[in-house]
Amino acid sequence: MRYRISIFIFILSLFAFSFTKPETISKIDLGKKLFFDTILSENYTKSCASCHIPEYGFADTVAFSVGVHHRKGKRNAPSINDLADRPLLFYDGRATSLENQVHFPIEDINEMNLPIHEAVKRLNKSKAYQKLFMEAFGEAPNRKNLEIAIAEFERTLQTINTPFDKFMNDDSTAINASAQRGREIFMGTKAKCFDCHFSPDFTGDEFKNIGLYDGKKYNDVGRFAITKNKHDIGKFKVPGLRNVANTAPYMHNGMFKTLREVIDYYDNLYAVVKQPINLDSTLEKPLLLTEQEKIDIESFLQSLSNIKKQH
């Protein structure tokens, strides 16, 4: 009798083992590995993280990032934090989803310069990636699952638990008096920041011409290159402001090194661009902010950042 019971238990254990799923890599973890791997660049020297650095809000620290063969990009690398809810991506809005944006930097001649089909070939030649893609997707690497994996990782890069978030959750001590005043100015009719930087991520996902187009020194046409609509000349996507204190330099051309320089520009853009073309109507007149108001706005912007390193 004891022998029969032992055999029965052994058979049950084999049956249970056959239905036990081995530990597998998630799509998010696979995307993270790809994001930090130089295998996706022509000469194996650049990864996505080369220009989107975790310690700096997944942005770069220079005006124009350096890609393969020391080539410089044409626009400042934007932060990829808090993109999960964005309907359009890049300064000109050329990508319609996080998945759709993946191939652009990989294929761009100034960035990673690798045709997406070549990237897929490389991944299929790698036994390690063959195994990981089979675990995450149940199939070999292809363009679709490559884009899904990286996009899934990027969706996790959310800026939370900032001093501002704590303040909004009834911690009145989370931000100082200057930042609290700055919040009121930011949302008010004098500075008009909130007209463009609204929603939980401080962007309305709109395209605006903030004066950085004059057809001469400042000649990036922005959104117009995609739509060919003359009303879009010089318009760029309004970025979110979460983690903004960590993502200098600023603007699509990286021309401002500090938040204070940005605030000074909005206060009177004509001091920088004498004759802007197609300027948004909300910026036609100087704001005439006081020194204290500028300090307070900067304090508020600092409160939107989570200074902890993200990995």
User: Tokens standing for 260?
Assistant: 């204070």
Residue 293 in this model has a pLDDT that exceeds 90: yes
Q: How many residues does the chain have?
A: 311
Please state, in angstroms and as integers, the Cα–Cα distance from residue 104 to each residue in 2, 85, 98, 147, following that order.
67, 19, 11, 11
pLDDT at 253 over 60: yes
- Residues 6 or more apart whose CB falls under 8 angstroms from that of 88 comprise 94, 95, 96, 205, 237
Q: Above 90 in pLDDT, residue 129?
A: yes
Q: How far apart are CA 150 and CA 134, in angstroms?
A: 16
Continuous H helices in 91-196: 98-101, 103-107, 116-125, 127-137, 143-155, 163-168, 177-187
pLDDT score at 25: 86
Instruction: Indicate the pLDDT class of residue 23, thresholds 50, 70 and 90.
Output: low
Please give the pLDDT value at position 188. 97
Residue 311 tokens read as 């990995």
